[in-house]
Structure 1
Amino acid sequence: MPPEPAPSTPIRTTGQQLRRRSWAEPWKIKMVEPIKVTTAAQRATALRDAGYNTFLLRSEDVYIDLLTDSGTSAMSDWQWAGLMLGDEAYAGSKNFYHLEDTVRRHYGYKHLIPTHQGRGAEHILSQIMIQPGDTVPGNMYFTTTRYHQEHAGAQFVDVVVDEGHDPANPAPFKGNVDLAKLERVLTTAKHVPYVCVAATVNMAGGQPISMANMRAVRELCARQHVPIMLDATRAVENAWFIKTREPGYAERSCGEILREFCSYSDGCTMSGKKDPLVNIGGWLSLNDDQLADKARNMVVVYEGLHTYGGMAGRDMEAMARGIEESVQDDHMRARIGQVEYLGELLQVAGVPVVLPIGGHAVYLDARRFYPHLTQDEFPAQTLAAELYLDAGVRAMERGIVSAGRDHKTGKHHYPKLELVRLTIPRRVYTQAHMDVVAESVTAVFQNPDKPRGLKMVYEPENLRFFQARFEPL
């Protein structure tokens, strides 16, 4: 792939219309997986059987699966070759040491505690650092992260900048921490065990945090002697946005930016199913020796021995190799470029999306799709159902259902954002698939027959968006 112009570089045609240079992914297809094209009647039946929850659809009934980018990426031939080198020893697998060395080189942390996936790392971190009554500030909540914090007895406080809650605001770093909000929490809360910083901010539309802001958060927390724990799940994508949006970083590589960014934190949780390009696995990284010792004791109880943490040796080898590939600029240029391509098609069609386009997904503003629906009628859940009915595209609700209930009062959380996430797996779909998605979303948006919304008929106790069931009003 020619290095210039990048997918994000507009050029002017003879008609003075702006368009983007054609580009191709920096890989070629070696193996294919057939997908089924369904009829409208088949989709209606499948959706009804799934309780109008896209999480409960069978994957075989999905045409283009944009539910999540978690564990759905395509591994490279180099990663698949690494699977054959899996050392499945119960203790001291050589693949663990390869992974540990790779994380140290690219992320910079001293200690590595492997886990079966990201929420395993969140659980261990919450258990070793949080005491009942603590307050944990963060730049917008994430579902499993907040659950583990609250389950350990803490209260989560949102300190993201106000722009992060405004889907139409085009600010380049809507994931930034509001320093005034953070300082207020740090100086008034009884005890803050750590500040939780996400890069990028999933629930805000995949929005990044700037290097300058991260550095300022570090300086503020250092004065208050409070550590920073990074949700590094998509930190490489965040590094790409720093490279392309923040002055002074254009000539630096993604890998260099990532290492500097992580240096302003004291540890991280990681779902290896995102940036590191594998189907399962994660880790907790820490710089503090005593905390790391506590984490190793916990991982033995809940995940597995401290040198495998719920992963097979082959999985750790694939992840180590995936990290090496993930920090390459050509990979990230194509990864973000595909997301931007879909986002731009929808913007041209007048579809309301979260701006600017985020790193791993295009987020649809369900409030503007269905302004006649109240949040109690679940507009984002309704929109996700309508998208599947139209063309078999599976997306994810990110609104009131995902926000859940206040664990003290039992009442709904009412987030300002009511979104549907079109999440693009890495190295899986082609530009033609994005064209099909854009046409389907546009058709749903322009359909004059608007749905009446949904009612929840089954609600599980925890993380309800995974298993809740609905019926049309």
Structure 2
Amino acid sequence: MRAYRAKVVEPIHLPDRDEREANIEEAGYNVFNLDSEDVFIDLLTDSGTGTMSDEQWAAMMRGDEAYAGSDSFKRLQESVADVMGFENIVPAHQGRGAENVLYGVLVSEGDYVPNNTHFDTTRAHVVNNGGQPVDCPVDVAPDDPFQGNLDPEKVRELADEVGAENIPALVVTITNNSMAGQPVSVQNLRDAREVADEIDATFVIDACRFAENAYFVQQREAEFEGSSVAAIAREELSYADAIVMSGKKDALSNIGGFVGVRDDELFEHAKQRGILYEGFSTYGGLSGRDLEAMAVGLREAVTQPYIESRVEQVAELGDLLLDADVPIYAPTGGHAVYVKAEEFLPNIPREQFPGQVLVGELYREGGVRAVELGEFAFPGEDRPQLVRLCLPRRTYFREHLEHIAETFEKVGERRDELSGLEIVWEPPMEELRHFSAKLEPVE
């Protein structure tokens, strides 16, 4: 049962099929180029797209917009310290701003950065600073409860190969977005802490979905059975030297982010870089209102009623898709359902982007916007061809989920008629091409 009720509603509109056909063609078969008003159900991302609570809206009214020494910043500091265990924070306008602040300090030309699996902007920031991102996911069985884990032995092998002195940071992303939103165990974070100490690397946790990860730990890791999500959240983050946070995920706000740092020297470097790129260190590119929304949202995110309804809604969508014979990555993660595009569209070869074809057809058929996480988003990498259906927090209801499943069924009925896509324009930085590249059907 949902742990909330609606206080404000927004009308949404499903354009007719001819409009949708024209829209997707004009967008270059890239749904990032669609206008929001032309989308019926938007599953592009859960980043900043959720519904804030009445408590968050109330807190925004007291936003202190002072350039320096804002009371709103102090309340965010207190919230981060209480919920996440970090006293020193550098605010940023969103998660990728926080990545720029931290990785711009940590990573230099010729460095290597292992991660359980890099997501797009993390990978791009490492590359932009002259580093080499290296994915080190654990090899898992289908029934493994923590399929997002890091493989510490792969990190040790990398250190032996390139030299530990060339690995300034070890990153673990919780939950593991690129691996179908799968969770990471607390024991795995302890193991990551151990190997980071062995190679003298800064241990960073990408904590964007730390509360969702904590819920999975509560449900699946025997040591934490009966523990509160709030207590688990502090435990899992306690092993990190630094965290990168997008407030648009598990701080339940529409904008914002921050870096949390324990080491005083690293904190000072990050703070100065934050001033250069984001704004003064007590606002970081955000209004006081935004700081207030994050401060409240962090506390709400670790409450049992909220997090249980959040994760279970994702599972609900997964069940509806399974009932419709849609191949999904199972078990479902905490923020999204991932569809196996190559299985759904077996006639489309990998080099013709089966995931992107499916994304376009979901819009064409039902006005549903999803995102491809395969060859188009991660070119040249040996990854499964996935389509992510990302549920905004506290936004959609059962009827919307049923429409999504029905849309898949309709696309499936004409899958043999579909052709692949080819890129006709892309930006210079390949790691970010999926945000703006344009495609057209293969002749």
TM-score normalised by L of structure 2: 0.97
How far apart in 2 are the matches of 1:170 and 1:60? 40
Q: How many residues align?
A: 438
| Offset, 1:348 | 2.1
Which one of the candidate residues 421, 431, 440 is aligned to 2:407? 440
Q: Deviations over 1:223-266 (max 9, x none)?
A: 33222101000011111110111112121111100000001111
**Residue 220, structure 1, aligned to residue 189, structure 2:** no
1:114–1:307: 8 Å Cα contact kept in structure 2?
yes
Mapping 1:64-83, distance limit 5 Å = 64-83=41-60
1:370–1:450: 8 Å Cα contact kept in structure 2?
no
Which residue identity does 1:269 align to in structure 2? V
1:375–1:414: 8 Å Cα contact kept in structure 2?
no
| Offset, 1:448 | 4.6
| Offset, 1:40 | 1.0
Which one of the candidate residues 157, 164, 175 is aligned to 2:134? 157
- Alignment match, 1:373: 348
In structure 2, stretches of 5+ residues that fail to align are none
| Offset, 1:446 | 3.6
SS at match of 1:230: strand
Which residue identity does 1:401 align to in structure 2? F
SS at match of 1:38: coil
Which residue identity does 2:439 align to in structure 1? F
Identity percentage of aligned residues: 44
Q: Deviations over 1:37-94 (max 9, x none)?
A: 2111110011111111111110100111111100001001110011110100111100
Which one of the candidate residues 428, 435, 438 is aligned to 1:469? 438
- Alignment match, 1:387: 362
How far apart in 2 are the matches of 1:330 and 1:312? 29
- Alignment match, 2:148: 175
How far apart in 2 are the matches of 1:414 and 1:225? 28
- Alignment match, 2:5: 28
- Alignment match, 1:359: 334
1:460–1:467: 8 Å Cα contact kept in structure 2?
yes
Which residue identity does 1:184 align to in structure 2? E
1:53–1:467: 8 Å Cα contact kept in structure 2?
yes
How far apart in 1 are the matches of 2:439 and 2:272? 41
1:377–1:455: 8 Å Cα contact kept in structure 2?
yes
Which one of the candidate residues 158, 163, 171 is aligned to 1:185? 158
How far apart in 1 are the matches of 2:344 and 2:5? 37
- Alignment match, 1:91: 68
| Offset, 1:414 | 3.1
* RMSD (CA atoms): 1.2
Bigger drift between 82-91 and 214-223 goes to: 214-223
2:422–2:439: 8 Å Cα contact kept in structure 1?
yes
| Offset, 1:443 | 2.4
Bigger drift between 182-191 and 105-114 goes to: 182-191
- Alignment match, 2:218: 243
How far apart in 1 are the matches of 2:377 and 2:251? 25
How far apart in 2 are the matches of 1:39 and 1:234? 36
SS at match of 1:465: helix
| Offset, 1:212 | 1.1
Which one of the candidate residues 23, 27, 32 is aligned to 1:50? 27
| Offset, 1:188 | 2.9
Q: Deviations over 1:107-141 (max 9, x none)?
A: 11131000000001111111111121111001012
How far apart in 1 are the matches of 2:412 and 2:102? 42
| Offset, 1:433 | 0.7
- Alignment match, 2:237: 262
**Residue 332, structure 1, aligned to residue 329, structure 2:** no
**Residue 233, structure 1, aligned to residue 233, structure 2:** no
User: Relative to structure 1, is the Cα distance of residues 395 and 448 closer, same or farther in structure 2, using a 3 angstrom cutoff?
Assistant: closer
1:118–1:272: 8 Å Cα contact kept in structure 2?
yes
SS at match of 1:449: helix
How far apart in 1 are the matches of 2:338 and 2:198? 37
Bigger drift between 186-195 and 95-104 goes to: 186-195
SS at match of 1:248: helix
Mapping 1:110-121, distance limit 5 Å = 110-121=87-98
Which residue identity does 1:234 align to in structure 2? R
- Alignment match, 2:392: 425
Mapping 1:1-20, distance limit 5 Å = none
SS at match of 1:456: strand
